[in-house]
Amino acid sequence: MDSSCLFCRIAAREIPADIVRESDGVVAFRDANPQAPTHLLLIPKEHVTSVAELGDHHGSVLADIMQAATQLARAEGIADGGWRLVTNVGPDAGQTVFHLHFHLLGGRPMGWPPG
């Protein structure tokens, strides 16, 4: 827990968020500035700044996040229409919160490549 980190504090329920799912190692909540009808953020409870900082022991939490994404896409009703799971690393990608998070986006057609 990094008490200066927004997403650590959301995971600890010190800062309110619309949490839609919580398991031992993973929390999912709605993005405060949604870019699609469904826009969730999936995070490990453990503070890791980005995928670039992941180590060998993070395999199981990553698997849990991927599995949660599929289940949440079904729960959100976007499984058939399609969805995107994306994580930003560093300034060119637009990372603004330095606690690893995966954006789960769906509910509208999305262009590729992203702008």
Residue placing its CB nearer to ligand AMP in the complex, 17 or 42: 17
97 binds ligand AMP (CB under 6 A): yes
88 binds ligand AMP (CB under 6 A): yes
4 binds ligand AMP (CB under 6 A): no
Closest CA to 29 of 92, 97, 90: 97
32 binds ligand AMP (CB under 6 A): yes
8 binds, among ligand AMP, Zn ion, none (CB under 5 to 8 A by kind): Zn ion
Amino acid at the residue 48: V
Binder among 17, 40, 43, 61 for ligand AMP (CB under 6 A): 17
95 binds ligand AMP (CB under 6 A): yes
Task: Note the residues at the interface with Zn ion (CB under 5 A).
Answer: 2, 5, 7-8, 47, 99
Q: Which residues are catalytic?
A: 101
